[in-house]
Structure 1
Amino acid sequence: MKKSDASEKLLPEKQGEEAAEGGLRRRLWEENKKLWVVAGPGIFTRFSIFGITVISQAFIGHVGSTELAAYALVSTVLLRFANGILLGMASALETLCGQAFGARQSHMLGIYLQRSWIVVLLCTAVLLPIFIFTTPLLRLLGQEPLIAAAAGRIALWFIPIIFSFVFSFTFQMYLQSQSKNIIISYLAAISLALHVLLTWFAVSKLSLGVTGVMGSMILALWIPIFGEFAYVVGGGCPETWKGFSRVAFQDLWPVVKLSLSSGAMLCFELWYNTVLVLLTGYMKDAETAIDALSICLNINGWEMMISIGFLAAAGVRVANELGAGSAKNAKFSIVVVVTSSLVIGFVLFVLFLLFRGSISYIFTESSKVASAVADLSPLLAFSILLNSVQPVLSGVAVGAGWQSLVAYVNVACYYVFGIPLGAVLGYLLGFHVKGIWMGMLIGTAAQTFVLCLITWRTDWDKQVALAQARVSRWVVPTADQYNGREEAA
């Protein structure tokens, strides 16, 4: 009898544990599905867009060395500068659309999209003089006149490209906040394939040189935008796109403030590696150092496409759950996305440590450069490991609307701490490029630690209240809601 009583007491406890375990597995499965619906297409799209710039550089390299140097200068300095600002400002839309969609105020997404177009277009117009007066600017900075002149001609081709960012970035934020960004992946794949074909034909068959490459690049970046516009306006988003509205021109200042905060946050991150290259340029035997560093940063750039995909997924999931009023689900989403990205980062970390001696030969035939790359590979591996966490936490910040706070953290950790430490290690202590990279890596580690601490200590119930207050403050009633209020009155 006693045995039976004990069995009866243990059975509900065992069933409860099994139910809890089954519930956790089910939650993990559901959360991972929601995560990869955003992250998967996001990663593929970024690989495709990054591939377009790499393919263009490869073809221009066959046109001439001066043209290659000019293209590299414009794409790595000017385009990265503009890209950082415009992507950062567009990421404000990720906060607004994500929280509004979670709060079931779907009609606001189309209005936020149009407001973001206005704000980011104005910002792009402000950036135009940099591309129009590239040649005199580069000459003022001491660049060789021949390269400066070629860069000035290529920079004019980039003007339609930076305007394409206005729409590609904002459409991406708008669609991924609804987990509908698979259409962007299809269009990116088509444009990448088309770019390869058109560039080959223009350069190899028509001998159009730089004109053929840049013309094909412009087409490759604008074709997906027309496809996304047709998808949105043609009925792909019936709940969130209600047509063009004059309301989009109202209440622009809050969007401007959030866009500027977002722009500052991402700019300080994206420009960090540019400073690394500039500091390396003053090293002894700078040519080998820059060649080795550029190979490492190229590998790191490809891996960053994965991290940025997870950044987008983190932003969407956190914003959706905060807008829906669930602090518990927001915290669970953060744990799942950080863990998923960290696992991928750790696998790549191990691979680069194991194959560091042979990876460089994909990019160079110089044994001297290959040896320098092998020497830098441990730092590259640790960069990849940190990059699997740090951008994801930045995505959490975007989802919660902490852009201003993270901008201050980035300035302190990167520019007040990391870069000066790198300069001391590289120049004063004689560690050269490794010292510069170590200092900047320590700055990234400090920023990651601070973001982890902020995320851990955050009162997420308070963040839910703030998100819902933001949605309520900026919401515009639909026609049905307005009529309902009139009838109630």
Structure 2
Amino acid sequence: MMDNTVPTSLEISHGGAQNGSAGGGEPVLKSRMSRLSSRTLEEFKKLGYIAGPAILTSIFQFSIGLVTVAFVGHLGKVELAAVTIASNVIEGFAFGVLLGMGSALETLCGQAFGAGQFDMLGVYMQRSWVITLVTALMISPLYIFTSPLLKALHQSHDIAEMAGKYSIWVIPQLFAYAFNFPMQKFCQSQSRVIVITVIAGAGLGLHALLNWIFLSKLHYGLVGAAVVGNITWWIINAAQIIYLLSGKFPDAWTGFSWKAFHSLGSFIKLSLASAVMLCLELWYFTAVLILVGLLKNPELAVDAISICMNLEMWTLMIALGFNAAISVRVSNELGALRPKAAKFSVKVATLSSLSIGVVFMIVVVSTKQLFPRIFTSEADVIKETAKLANLLSLTMVLNSVQPVLSGVAVGAGWQSLIAYINIGCYYLFGLPVGALLGFKFKFGVMGIWSGMLAGCLLQTVILVTITIRTNWQKEALRAEEHIRTWGGSAQPQGEAAS
């Protein structure tokens, strides 16, 4: 089996020394360094082609909710609080679960594409639709009973009532998520990302326009905001379906098939593992906010940590772009039985994302007295946020590496393992340490954040260790077994395997 990846720097140095003893070491070393640079640049371009659009798609879709909140904020304080709670608690939960379940396609479609099993991509997407739509149906009671649920959590009666009304009206968005994410992963696994990004950007622009018409001009209120969100998400879905049926996927999409209902048991298992893995990461930040809210006089601490987390979320989207890119690259190369190429891609992606994280760290540390002013003019909040700047900068560095390694896990199909690691590092270590530092040792918000940082550090160290010790040849054989298990043929085919 041929493997055309570049030798590591250690191999190059060793080879150079050997050749040097023969009298021609320096020219050979320069030649190999040139090849390494060329291959690194080529790999970076492949990653960037996926990561750039993935970053923009995440920002556009994330901003749909922000636009809704911005327009609803002009309706009144109660409306703003109701939509904020419904969006962050109810919709955020559903969004995370369905996105996580759809992420199983990053493993399966990516490996099938790498192996040249193009006809299975459409089948996998249909299986994912079956699972995510059923999951959405199971989650829908949460939307229906939002009001009594919030009242049971001792939320304001007026806010709970209004959030419940809003949640019922946005149920169509729940099923839009279920339909949307498998289509995105189907396209992403084939590096067809530009059109998806354009559709998301156009959807965001349309969403802002419709909110302006229905809320600012026609004054349809909270129901209008919900209906506009439904329209936006289903227009995005309709545009993606048109792209799917346009003939751009002649091999990957051959129409609906009864194969979509085969091997659902093992498919559900991987989908659930993907959902748990993602949700455990998303809920970690929510749990930290809850801990901060339990401090004495929590208003100042919550304001400061909210500013830091908002900034962290925006920078995290860049790392998530590399997460998407490396999951595609690893799954494609493993499916094509090119394990060394997968390993090389991991190195390039990790170093690239880490470099960006270091830049963010430097910017935050050097502007810690300035960046809080973007979010607030309150002197005490600015001062408290500046105290957290050093911890924020370290978190940014860790979160530039951790999503990439999680992407490697998705590409290789390690979701179950990573879910267990997340439970241990985040919930059995990070949160207890944060609670201990914050409450027992009276370090307050800095202690809670330090615990979160410790959990992230432990997780990153474990993921780095696993990645370094991975037998990539074995992972390529496992990818081949995945394809056989879920309906593909045993051997790589077509261009992807060449």
What corresponds to 1:212 in structure 2?
A: 224
Following the alignment from structure 2 to structure 1, what is the Cα–Cα distance between the partners of residues 456 and 151?
33
2:246 to 234, 252, 264: 234
Deviation at 1:146, TM superposition (A): 1.0
1:191–1:223 CA contact under 8 A, matched in 2:
yes
What corresponds to 2:282 in structure 1?
A: 270
What corresponds to 2:119 in structure 1?
A: 107
Residue-by-residue CA offset, 1:376-417 (whole Å, 9 max, x unaligned): 222221111111000110000000000011110000000000
1:69 to 62, 76, 81: 81
2:483–2:489 CA contact under 8 A, matched in 1:
no
Give the aligned residue type for 1:16: V
Deviation at 1:153, TM superposition (A): 1.1
Give the aligned residue type for 2:284: Y
Residue-by-residue CA offset, 1:401-436 (whole Å, 9 max, x unaligned): 000111100000000000011110111111111111
Matched positions, count? 473
Following the alignment from structure 1 to structure 2, what is the Cα–Cα distance between the partners of residues 210 and 304?
30
1:38-437 alignment, distance < 5 Å? 38-437=50-449
Following the alignment from structure 1 to structure 2, what is the Cα–Cα distance between the partners of residues 158 and 212?
10
Give the aligned residue type for 1:470: H
Deviation at 1:135, TM superposition (A): 0.6
Following the alignment from structure 1 to structure 2, what is the Cα–Cα distance between the partners of residues 372 and 239?
56
Following the alignment from structure 1 to structure 2, what is the Cα–Cα distance between the partners of residues 353 and 56?
32
1:80–1:271 CA contact under 8 A, matched in 2:
no
2:117–2:489 CA contact under 8 A, matched in 1:
no
What corresponds to 1:467 in structure 2?
A: 479
Give the aligned residue type for 1:131: Y
* Matched position secondary structure for 1:237: coil
Following the alignment from structure 2 to structure 1, what is the Cα–Cα distance between the partners of residues 33 and 146?
61
Following the alignment from structure 1 to structure 2, what is the Cα–Cα distance between the partners of residues 339 and 223?
38
Residue-by-residue CA offset, 1:445-469 (whole Å, 9 max, x unaligned): 1001000001111111111111111
Deviation at 1:105, TM superposition (A): 0.5
Structure that is richer in helix per residue: 1
1:84–1:271 CA contact under 8 A, matched in 2:
no
2:60–2:204 CA contact under 8 A, matched in 1:
yes
* Matched position secondary structure for 1:235: coil
Deviation at 1:477, TM superposition (A): 6.1
1:32–1:336 CA contact under 8 A, matched in 2:
yes
Give the aligned residue type for 1:44: L
Give the aligned residue type for 2:193: N
Residue-by-residue CA offset, 1:139-175 (whole Å, 9 max, x unaligned): 1111111111111112123312221111221111111
1:105–1:475 CA contact under 8 A, matched in 2:
no
Give the aligned residue type for 1:317: R
* Matched position secondary structure for 1:462: helix
Higher alpha-carbon deviation: 50-59 or 315-324: 50-59
Following the alignment from structure 1 to structure 2, what is the Cα–Cα distance between the partners of residues 14 and 387?
39
Deviation at 1:235, TM superposition (A): 0.8
* Matched position secondary structure for 2:155: coil
Following the alignment from structure 1 to structure 2, what is the Cα–Cα distance between the partners of residues 158 and 442?
37
* Matched position secondary structure for 2:117: coil
Following the alignment from structure 1 to structure 2, what is the Cα–Cα distance between the partners of residues 368 and 153?
37
* Matched position secondary structure for 1:389: helix
* Matched position secondary structure for 1:338: helix
Following the alignment from structure 1 to structure 2, what is the Cα–Cα distance between the partners of residues 64 and 291?
20
Following the alignment from structure 2 to structure 1, what is the Cα–Cα distance between the partners of residues 327 and 436?
36
Following the alignment from structure 2 to structure 1, what is the Cα–Cα distance between the partners of residues 382 and 83?
24
Deviation at 1:30, TM superposition (A): 1.7
Following the alignment from structure 1 to structure 2, what is the Cα–Cα distance between the partners of residues 291 and 236?
48
* Matched position secondary structure for 2:377: coil
* TM-score between the two structures when normalised by the length of structure 2: 0.92
Give the aligned residue type for 1:294: S
Deviation at 1:19, TM superposition (A): 2.6
What fraction of aligned residue pairs are identical, expressed as a percent? 46
Residue-by-residue CA offset, 1:108-153 (whole Å, 9 max, x unaligned): 0000000000011111111111110001011111111111111111
2:170–2:227 CA contact under 8 A, matched in 1:
no
What corresponds to 2:465 in structure 1?
A: 453
Residue-by-residue CA offset, 1:293-327 (whole Å, 9 max, x unaligned): 22211111111211111111111111001101011
Following the alignment from structure 1 to structure 2, what is the Cα–Cα distance between the partners of residues 163 and 242?
24
* TM-score between the two structures when normalised by the length of structure 1: 0.93
* Matched position secondary structure for 2:388: helix
Question: Structure 1 residues 348 and 260, CA, compared in 2 at 3 Å: closer, same or farther?
Answer: same
Residue-by-residue CA offset, 1:221-265 (whole Å, 9 max, x unaligned): 222211111111121211211111111111111110100111111
Give the aligned residue type for 1:352: V
Following the alignment from structure 2 to structure 1, what is the Cα–Cα distance between the partners of residues 326 and 421?
19
* RMSD, aligned α-carbons: 1.8
What corresponds to 1:3 in structure 2?
A: none
Deviation at 1:211, TM superposition (A): 2.6
Structure 1, gaps ≥5 residues long: 1-5, 482-489
What corresponds to 2:15 in structure 1?
A: none
